Amino acid sequence: MKPFLVLLAVALATFGLALAPGRALAQGSHPITVAVGQVIRGDLASFGDSILIAGTVDGDVTSWSGSITVLGTVHGDVVSYAGSIDLGSEAQVTGSVLSLGGGVAREGEARVAGQVLGENPLAGGAFVSSMAAILRPQAGAGTANDLPLPLISAALTLISLLLAAACAAIWPMRTLGVSRALRRAPVSSLGIGLLTTALIALLLLPLGGLIALSLVGLPLLLPLLLLLHAPYLFGLVGLGRALGERIRPGDTDPVAAVAGVALLLLPLGLVGTVAPLWGLALFYATASAGLGAAILSRGGAYALRARV
């Protein structure tokens, strides 16, 4: 089990380095400004910072939760999933404009070649705004429903622990099988889990974009995310069970699984109080090991045929 813990720590560190923002993704406490006469070749993206376009952008302008103000020209689409979009009188957009949760303010002389979506409230937009507020709260603004971030993180941690306890109680033998598979093949479990997570992320980004742009399917985004979350929760229970049995050898009671999951969720919850996005990423990276073991053991059934 010790080599597996070392491998998991290395994988988490590598995963964190891979998530480090590159130059294409603008982040920071100051707004991103394209000055008058300045030309940006390519797309411009931001997670939570405001963007001001007074010059020209030859590409798409995208922000997850920051506001976008266009006073110049954008040769592409302008999209803010949870922030607002303001189009000045001299704004020119050759693509479409979309704001799911923040709304679009457009002066009469602003020209948009494509569609303008978001001037009226969109179905599912409130959910996107709440998620954005939790993952990246804006400076000077409250989080979703003005709840403090530590309280939200504690609530999510407690809910995850309760769901894990229910999972361990409903499928005690299955989670035991996952823990056995994890102990027998830790490297394979971790590798398969991380590859599966990477594949899901690659598929989810375009799929989520299509769902968001379809508007009609936007309310399906939450059930889809919950459906994708379930296998990771099951894998986390298997990982917690392996950890719990390591602490108390010979104890196959589901209580050991709950104790192990609690030990895993506690540091993740603490990270989530200060960096929600990192906490979420580390949760999936950690649970990927259990997910890989669940895949190898066919949901825990195959591993029960042989004792560790």
What are the pLDDT digits (tens) for 284-302? 999 999 999 999 988 877 7
Phi/psi at 197 (nearest 5 deg)? -65, -40
**pTM: predicted TM-score of the whole model, two decimal places:** 0.60
Hey, where are the domains in the chain?
Answer: 2-21+139-305, 30-125
pLDDT of 111 over the 90 cut: yes
pLDDT at 19: 41
CB 79 within 8 A of CB 212: no
Partnered with residue 111 across adjacent β-strands are 92
Q: What is the mean pLDDT of residues 85-97?
A: 93
**HSE on the CB side for 120, CA within 13 Å?**
3
Q: What is the mean pLDDT of residues 128-138?
A: 56
pLDDT at 75: 95
More confident residue, 213 or 290: 290
Token output for 250: 């010979």
45-49, 91-95, 219-223, 242-246: range with lowest mean pLDDT: 219-223
pLDDT band at residue 45 using 50, 70 and 90 as cut-offs? confident
pLDDT of 23 over the 50 cut: no
